[in-house]
């Protein structure tokens, strides 16, 4: 299996790369700005580097040969998602996992709602909601990941997954947990298809993230 990571040089992109190399025998195509130098320590016969931006759609399209799944490790608006979905469908790529943020469906509730909306805004009236709509209306075997506020903690992969239509109450989650969730979705350990999933850390129904 070959997985393409778009935005591979970001923090979670790097973690997903490390976890996939350690936990699977998948081949990886790492795409992003200057990834061949920024991620040079990952060079191996399982890794292909492609330097490019999200706007260079021809470059992405040319790199999709033999790619089975694509993970977008970047919260993109509809300006990026619309043409990207088109080229993924045209290339025959089925599995698409895309990062996004909570409150696309006004699902953030509980103590966290006030702080979240004050600091994030009205998410359901943004390009991020338009992007989610495009993905949900596509033919792809998609997963949208609505990821709450992020922090790092080695070894902490605790995650509570909620589906679209369920309340979202968690104030924080680790990047390590998000990365492991992506890996588990790609390996089939987590069996979700054409779903919008909320990712939060169990027990963090706070009024705001603990690190604020």
pTM (2 decimals)? 0.97
DSSP helix/strand/coil, 182: helix
Handedness of CA 23, 140, 175, 6 (dihedral sign): positive
- pLDDT confidence bin for 168, thresholds 50/70/90: very high
Task: Give the model's pLDDT for residue 31.
Answer: 98
Query: In whole angstroms, how far apart are CA 170 and each of 104, 166, 176?
Result: 15, 12, 16
24-53 pLDDT, tens digit per residue, is: 999 999 999 999 999 999 999 999 999 999
- pLDDT confidence bin for 1, thresholds 50/70/90: very high
Task: Give the model's pLDDT for residue 90.
Answer: 96
Task: Give the model's pLDDT for residue 176.
Answer: 98
119-163 pLDDT, tens digit per residue, is: 999 999 999 999 999 999 999 999 999 999 999 999 999 999 999
Which domains occur in the chain, in start order? 2-200 (3.40.50.720)
- pLDDT confidence bin for 20, thresholds 50/70/90: very high
62-108 pLDDT, tens digit per residue, is: 999 899 999 999 999 999 999 999 999 999 999 999 999 999 999 99
Strands (E), 40-176: 47-51, 69-72, 95-100, 141-147, 149-151, 160-163, 172-174
Number of residues in the chain: 212
| Distance, CA of 133 to CA of 131 (rounded, Å) | 5
């Amino acid at each position: 299996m070959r997985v393409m990571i778009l935005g591979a040089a970001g923090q979670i992109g790097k973690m997903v790369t490390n976890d996939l190399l350690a936990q699977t025998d998948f081949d990886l195509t790492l795409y992003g700005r200057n990834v061949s130098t920024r991620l040079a320590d990952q060079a191996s016969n399982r890794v292909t580097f492609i330097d490019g931006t999200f706007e260079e759609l021809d470059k992405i399209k040319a790199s999709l040969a033999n790619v089975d799944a694509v993970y977008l490790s970047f919260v993109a608006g509809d300006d990026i998602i619309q043409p990207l979905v088109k080229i993924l469908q045209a290339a025959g790529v089925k599995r698409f996992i895309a990062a996004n943020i909570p409150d696309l469906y006004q699902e953030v509730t509980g103590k966290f709602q006030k702080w979240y909306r004050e600091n994030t805004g009205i998410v359901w009236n943004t390009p991020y909601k338009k992007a989610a709509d495009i993905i949900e209306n596509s033919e792809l075997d998609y997963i949208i990941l609505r990821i709450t506020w992020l922090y790092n903690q080695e070894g902490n992969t605790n995650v509570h997954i909620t589906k679209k239509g369920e309340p979202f109450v968690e104030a924080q989650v680790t990047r390590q947990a998000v990365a492991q969730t992506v890996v588990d979705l790609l390996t089939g350990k987590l069996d979700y298809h054409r779903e919008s999933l909320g990712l939060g850390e169990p027990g963090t129904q706070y009024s705001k993230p603990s690190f604020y």
